[in-house]
Structure 1
């Protein structure tokens, strides 16, 4: 990768990192908001529960406004830093308080409007009628009246801030009749960009916690130095890894090109057998790489790079030309066996490449019969490509090539497409064979695949046969050919040639030879 691309990639990584960081900060502060409001709700609910429980205990053991009752109210006031006054109300009249023995003062209408038509517990904010100060009032009903607890709004405000300000959040306690009218203080809820709300069914309050855009910015910039350090480090690492990956791919590509020039690619042969008697009737050629330093390399380590770079085309031409000599020796041992070579549909769509294939086949008589080209059903084609594919297949048919469809049953080819391409062989994917004996659904699918193959008048080959039970089931379905470790593993050409003249109809012997 050149320097301008590296710089552009670094800038892109930094931008993506900043965006992801903003998303992380937003999710983090959202979760903090949720946790804060839940903890604050628990604290407020617990405190109101305590007030209610203590008042209920005093009321149940005393008569309102008698000496013992007022003494109990005075003790509750003394024990709480929040309570400023507790009064007893009956028939809209102050009868007494924790400090006043007898009052008999009528409650102002502004206060009556807050609770006289309500039942249960009531919370409201108003100016104290006697003290003329702003306060929060918590009303606790009794059988004949109310206890009204005057709470210090400044303390409640401080209490809420203790939970919210440390995380740069805003909190608001309001009653259920005046949603979002803060009872404790005037907070900037008009600027809130995210908030959570909890409505207490028991105590008639609404608790709201949220944050403003300014709070979000502060939270973002507060952690930005640490996040930026991580983003820069990760961005540099990504670029380095991509650089290594690109160089590694270039190195593999160069190594493959060198291997092609030095003719280091060759084929392992895996026998294809008659399902009834185990006779070897053909073989699939599986590419291997005899590397001068690393020895035999399996396709898993190089085939992806070979396909993505187009080098697989040259490898296939080399294998085909090498197969011409090897097939001559195969014919001397057994003339009616065939070889199967893997190609890709993209190769056959390319007229120029088809011409190269035709040229090699025309050059070697051994390749003009008993040679099968196979490609996978997983490849998809547009209508135009399908036409080109049919033309390429026909040109190769004219020089003796037969066609097989690999991985049959796993792709997207419909019946009409299969009929149009006119395959000679359908190779059933190993996944259906492997689980057909134990899985009823797969068993049914394999039955249908076999039936479709018979309908298309194609020779069927079951891939991946690994047990005697699978082999027997494949034979029962009328699938004439099989391939798999039960019969033989892929082997070098010399081993295949030596065993070809010694094959037996007994699968257990063939299996022993394969091991």
Structure 2
């Protein structure tokens, strides 16, 4: 048990690691795609906004003093712009701080103007105090405006506001020059997104440190979730196991206290309308308080193997009840359901034989029923042997639920049944369905060819009783004549 728990823990740990690694990778990929798109849209919108505002101010008046003052107010009110200059004929014509300065622009700026006449971003120095900054240059009139942007503000925006510090990012212009960067050189993966006009791009990625942190964080979440799920499953398993143990112990207690009792349903001759036999059916008088529906426990008994012990218990009770049930009728029989597992268990068969040998009432008039719903082909030889050995103890054999399962003609011949019981579904539908009626006729004909007595199950009204009688079915079992009842009630009804 401890070894099993250890391997379960190891497997759970490996699964947690794998889930965390995959989850971290997918999370980072999604975050890169989202952050790049958001950063590009934000910066593109900001550049378009200040471009539009700058051009608008330049067209407000022909008075250069008024324009200078308007630009000054615009720069002072902006966190993004440090200075505005106008370029024409490769010279600074004016700035927001000085009119008619006529200072030549630097060589690299000339090259950009020639290569990217529709606008660009470039790393430069301010025109007056030579501070390193990033410039946004775009055409206007006969020249170009150069907006000197606040590099520190852009760096902070790129490093925290957009990507929230969880990725490494950089801003590049269309010449692939890195303008701002928060990343190291050793990234294990990165993606890039371009602005609509192509003047800049933002590239984001992550290094091993970021990836490892993502994995650790998600691993802790996965472990907590798996512990929760494991706890739920363990609790459910514990309840199921306790319920299983509780059911088994309940059965043992029920057997000890004689709560598991036989009920008998009469089998009637269609010719004389007299009882010729009965089928023993299991009932559980649970804690002497209520009769449990057999559908709630029979399958469980079959699945856990306790059906064998229960059947022996019922046979012991039948040994006492049978003389009262037969009431002197030597041909009266009682049928008892058995399973394939019982017939393939040599030790269990010996217990049955011992029980029969020690109880004279069981040495005649005892029929064992095998349901056709159980497949027998893979165990046919062993079943034939077991059936033959029990015949020596006076047991006759019935095939239950005929027409609903696996028994073919060869199986019927090999197993050599004495009685064939027609399933109630055929009885019910034969009254209204001509096809079913025809099938039922063939079934009766086949049974008689095999020299088997026929019993129609589930007969509930006179119409059904007449139908099966007319087809030549000898016996009937169903609510029309009797419900399953305890021994004392069966005997009182029989006395009548």
What is the TM-score when the length of structure 2 is the normalising length?
A: 0.61
Please give the secondary structure, in 2, of the residue aligned with 1:190. coil
- In 1: Cα distance, 2:140 partner to 2:479 partner: 87
User: What is the number of residues matched between the two proteins?
Assistant: 466
1:142 and 1:415 map into 2 onto residues whose CA distance is 96
Greater Cα offset, 286-295 or 338-347? 286-295
Shift of 1:370: 6.7
How many angstroms does 1:215 deviate by?
A: 0.7
The residue number in structure 1 matching 2:488 is: 494
Answering whether residue 286 of structure 2 is matched by residue 288 of structure 1, we say no
SS at match of 2:261: strand
In 2 relative to 1, CA 348–48 (structure 1 residues): closer, same or farther, beyond 3 Å? same
- Counterpart of 2:348 in structure 1 is 353
How do 1:130-279 residues align onto structure 2 when only pairs under 5 Å count? 154-162=152-160, 169-172=166-169, 184-187=181-184, 190-191=187-188, 199=193, 202=196, 205=201, 208=204, 212-216=210-214, 218-219=216-217, 227=224, 231=227, 249=244, 253=248, 256-257=251-252, 259-260=254-255, 263-269=258-264
Contact 2:85 2:94 (8 Å CA) reproduced: yes
Q: Following the alignment from structure 1 to structure 2, what is the Cα–Cα distance between the partners of residues 154 and 51? A: 16
Once the two structures are TM-superposed, the CA of residue 45 in structure 1 deviates from its matched residue by 2.1
- Rounded Cα–Cα distance in structure 2 between residues aligned with 1:497 and 1:421: 33
Counterpart contact for 2:170–2:183, Cα < 8 Å:
no
Write the distance in 2 (CA, Å) between the matches of 1:426 and 1:207: 80
Corresponding residue for residue 310 of structure 1: 305
Counterparts in 2 of 1:59 and 1:240: CA distance versus 1, 3 Å: closer
RMSD over aligned Cα, in angstroms? 6.4
Hey, what's the Cα distance between the residues in 2 that align with 1:15 and 1:433? 58
- After superposition, the Cα gap between the structure-2 partners of 1:209 and 1:272, relative to the gap in structure 1 and judged at 3 Å, is farther
- Structure 2 CA distance for partners of 1:221 and 1:361, relative to 1, 3 Å: closer
CA apart distance, 1:313: 1.4
Range that drifts further, 42-51 or 327-336: 327-336
Establish whether residue 48 from structure 1 lines up as the match of residue 44 from structure 2: yes
| 1:194-248 residue CA offsets vs partner (Å, 9 max, x unmatched) | x8x6857846646646674421354268779x949x949976x987886786676
Tell me how far 1:271 sits from its aligned partner: 6.2
Partner secondary structure for residue 280 of structure 2: strand
Q: Distance in 1 between matches of 2:141 and 2:202?
A: 26
Q: Which runs of 5+ in 1 are unaligned?
A: 438-442, 503-515
Q: Structure 1 16/444 Cα, relative in aligned 2: closer, same or farther at 3 Å?
A: farther
Quote how far apart the aligned CAs of 1:56 are: 4.4
Q: Secondary structure at the match of 1:322?
A: helix
- Structure 1 residues 72 and 328, CA gap change in structure 2 (3 angstroms): farther
Shift of the 347–44 alpha-carbon distance from structure 1 to 2, 3 Å rule, reads same
* CA displacement, residues 345-396 of structure 1 (integer Å, 9 cap, x when unaligned): 222222333344455456656665572413473x56784x344334434545
- Provide the residue aligned with 2:124 in structure 1: 128
Report the TM-score, using the length of structure 1 for normalisation.
0.59
